[in-house]
Amino acid sequence: MRALPPPARMSDWLLFLLPSFIWGTTWLVIKFQLGLVAPELSVAWRFGLAALLLLGWSLLRGVRLRFDARTHLAFAFQGLLQFGLNYVLVYLAEQHLTSGLVAVLFVLMVFWNLLGARLFFGTPASGVVIAGSVLGLLGVALVFLPELRALRAQPDLGLGVALAVAGTLVASAANLWAQRLYRRGIEVVPSTAWAMLYASLQVLAWCALTGIPFSFDPRPAYVISLAYLAVFGSVVAFVTYLTLLRRIGVGRAGYTAAVIPVLAMLTSTLFEGYRWTAVALLGMGLVLAGNLLVMRAKAATAEIPAAGKAA
């Protein structure tokens, strides 16, 4: 009889599959946030709730939450990029594109991370990484080829693509900024909790200044999706992923970035009626191949900022 894998190995698989599944479905769940409540306000509610949960979890675990004013300013800037502007752009993009296509576009963040790491940290890119980047970019182009052909009939698609690509750039900048914080020895969980709180407050302030009405949708679809995004998408998945990263390292943990867009496209196919073409299938294969090449290189070097995007 074949021996069972040791408990640690089984738990590592659970830690890998749980955040991958959650983050692969959050792209679709965001669709249930679009409607009566402005996208900006839904972002504020989501990360305000997630911040309170993470801060409470940190207090229970005895995690240090007190920092000086300079560090809080750094948290506020991280929140503006990572959980404020970035997610507002995601929610707005999903008004014009299927959730799976937005998820695929966020694969571009892997390559912005590589470029940013080279420009700002001097991290070299190997030939394998460059090859993976080219494959991934070509794959994204092929996935979107059928959509691009429909631009004349549906001009909003172009706006959705532009919003999503802008979101990838902002998210990548947030990753690079976060890496600066972590190099100062600041722990990930408390910095993220504070960043989420500041992002929520910043977005609420923006809504007040621009006249976006403060509202809340009490219907079950909105409340349940908000709870799922805050509790599972922003807290449970994040904590499990960090635990996995601490156990097996950023390189192997980063393979979630290869799984998430696949799950996102599957959920989009099942629930949004996305129709695959041969070209789109080929493109998705190239996206995965490119992502895996980049991740293998990361596993070897462990110098590139963590890639991938959680919704």
Domain boundaries, the chain: 23-301
- Sign of the alpha-carbon dihedral angle for 169, 87, 29, 238: positive
By CB neighbour count within 10 A (0-12 exposed, 13-18 middle, 19+ buried), where does 289 fall?
A: middle
pLDDT by 10s per residue, the chain, length 311: 344 344 445 577 788 788 888 988 999 999 999 999 999 999 999 999 999 999 999 999 898 999 999 999 999 999 999 899 999 999 999 998 888 888 888 877 777 777 777 777 666 667 777 777 788 778 887 887 776 666 555 667 888 889 999 998 898 888 788 777 877 888 888 988 999 999 999 999 999 999 999 999 999 999 999 999 999 998 888 778 767 765 655 445 556 666 778 888 888 888 888 888 888 888 888 888 877 777 666 554 444 444 445 67
Q: How does 240-279 read in b/e, with b if 16+ C-beta sit within 10 Å?
A: bbbbbbeebebbbbbbbbbbbbbbbbebbeeeeebeeeee
- Look at residue 150 in the predicted model and tell me its pLDDT: 61
Structure-derived torsion over alpha carbons of residues 152, 156, 160, 165, reported in degrees to the nearest 10: 50
| Cβ-based neighbours of 290, under 8 Å, separated by 6 or more | 107, 131, 132, 133, 134, 135, 136, 137, 138, 139
| Cβ-based neighbours of 178, under 8 Å, separated by 6 or more | 78, 82, 191, 305
Six-digit token string for 20:
């991958």
pTM of structure: 0.82
- Look at residue 241 in the predicted model and tell me its pLDDT: 77
Six-digit token string for 234:
């922003």
- Look at residue 223 in the predicted model and tell me its pLDDT: 97
- Look at residue 249 in the predicted model and tell me its pLDDT: 53
For helices 237-248 and 188-210, what crossing angle results, to 10°?
150
Residue among 180, 292, 190 at smallest CA distance from 242: 190
Please give the Cα distance from 215 to 212 (Å, whole number). Answer: 9
- Look at residue 297 in the predicted model and tell me its pLDDT: 63
- Sign of the alpha-carbon dihedral angle for 33, 39, 45, 50: positive
Give me the amino acid identity at 83.
F
Please give the Cα distance from 214 to 179 (Å, whole number). Answer: 34
Six-digit token string for 62:
């005895």
Structure-derived torsion over alpha carbons of residues 23, 25, 28, 29, reported in degrees to the nearest 10: -80
